[in-house]
Amino acid sequence: MDRKVDDKTILDKFAEDFTKIVEKYCKYIIVSGFVAIAHGRSRGTEDIDMIIERISKDIFINLHNSLINAGFECMQSEKPERIYDDYLIKGDSIRYTRQGVNLAPPEMELKLAKDELDNYQISTRQKFPFTGLDVYFSNIEMNIAFKEELLKSDKDLEDARHLRIIYKEDINENEINKIKEKIKNLRLKE
């Protein structure tokens, strides 16, 4: 099956279409596996993970309605008030797909920033010309730190190795270590 759309994968096009709407309402970042995939790592995924800054219910309602008008649908509910109150504000993620393809890839998994670490990720977001995509990603050091310190699956460690190879001349190890300490204090603390 040919997964290209105008020299971009289906995931690439989905990400760009979705983020064009989101950026009208708030700051966002793409995180996790799609970062490595966008940088040429060959591995499968059916979803793209997005963190958005904390926004009010009114702003979310407008964002949701714009996504619906652009041909997306939320898998949890059609009612933006319910989505915000029952999912987002409680720290749960929600998923959007293109209308008419519910439960089929690709999906955007969206969640609100939950702490100072997420806020820091959003404040240091970057676009990477290497990817050919017009979307904001969390910075490379952040991606490496999360994959090596928090996630640690074989797939995540391979993603981190891939990013280290691509950006070997540009990586700031002190920044990675600083982020790993924040992860320990904010996410691994019980």
104 pLDDT tier (thresholds 50, 70, 90):
low
R_g of the chain, CA atoms, integer Å: 16
* Full-model pTM: 0.92
What is the pLDDT, as a whole number, of residue 189? 79
Of 4-8, 99-103, 130-134, give the range with the top mean pLDDT.
130-134
Write out pLDDT tens, residues 125-173: 999 999 999 999 999 999 999 999 999 999 999 999 999 999 999 999 9
Cβ-proximal residues to 2 (8 Å cutoff; 6+ apart), any chain: none
CATH numbers and ranges of domains, the chain: 4-140 (3.30.460)
Write out pLDDT tens, residues 22-43: 999 999 999 999 999 999 898 7
* Rounded Cα distance, 56 and 32, in Å: 25
What is the pLDDT, as a whole number, of residue 92? 97
4 pLDDT tier (thresholds 50, 70, 90):
very low
